[in-house]
Chains A and B, each alone.
Chain A
Amino acid sequence: MIRIAISSQARLLNVLRGAVKLCAQDAGLSVSDAEYLTLAIDEAAANVIRHTYCGSCDTRMALEINSLPDRLEFILEDWGPKVREDLIRPRPLDELRPGGLGTFFIYSFMDKCSYDPNFKEGNRLKLVKFLTQKGACNNEGPSAKSG
């Protein structure tokens, strides 16, 4: 298990990316799957900085990575205002406009995304990527599951 706590500064996102990529490679994911997974977790962390903390740099967040035989689990915690899940949706891809792609990338590659309702102090987002066998994801890369 790896747990990394950082202040909510965008320049520190590369620290999280490095840890995710390392765990993905250790789990035997292909280079491209490791990159997609890194992108998905990075987008989730960036959403915390951008939306939950509204760009504030003096707050904190943490990423926990659990590498299990059949899956990789990522738990992203923040101590900001509660996220309203009903407002989270990827934008339709036929709209050409800046923004709105982060959630799409998360949903495209992660198998499970859920907020822990029992985490009272902020938000605890659990993201799961299943592995069908050592070194293989349960699909052939990301696809447009929604949008």
Chain B
Amino acid sequence: MKVQVRNLDSVSIIDSTGDVDLYSSPKLRDALLAEIRADGPCVLVNMSEVAYIDSSGIATLVEGLQLSRQTKTRFALFGLRPNAKSVLGLARLDKVFVIFGNEVEALEKIGSVEPFAGV
């Protein structure tokens, strides 16, 4: 799994590629904890290249969501593949996260999302 961060104007995009599982989810966690901070940028997680996500990956995203609430950071996911979306739905988390279809939509709308939206 690869995790790369792109810093745009007031938005950080965390690009995740590959499988997010017990082995690799700490990399995503490190990126989330570094980017989500008080007075920091909006944070988007690009899931379009995530082929697989397990409960540890989901736990990492939940941790990011909780931190975003504490720091009042706008936080969202985009580009989820059907399998990732269905796993989130099974855990009843698809309505908890703010999820956009793609990067263009996410960049367009993240600024108008309330930090606690999706709760």
Contacts and interface: CB of A to CB of B under 8 A. Distances in A.
Interface of A: 9-11, 13-14, 17, 32, 35, 38-39, 42-43, 46, 49-50, 93-94, 96-102, 104-105, 108, 142, 144
B59 interface: yes
Interface string B54-65: 111011101101
18 contacts: A11-B23, A13-B23, A14-B19, A14-B21, A17-B52, A46-B21, A46-B54, A46-B55, A94-B92, A96-B62, A96-B66, A96-B96, A98-B60, A98-B62, A98-B63, A101-B91, A142-B90, A144-B92
A93 B52 contact: no
Given A13-B22, A98-B66, 8 more contacts: A9-B23, A13-B21, A14-B19, A35-B83, A42-B54, A96-B96, A104-B55, A144-B92
Size bin of chain B's contact surface = 20 to 34
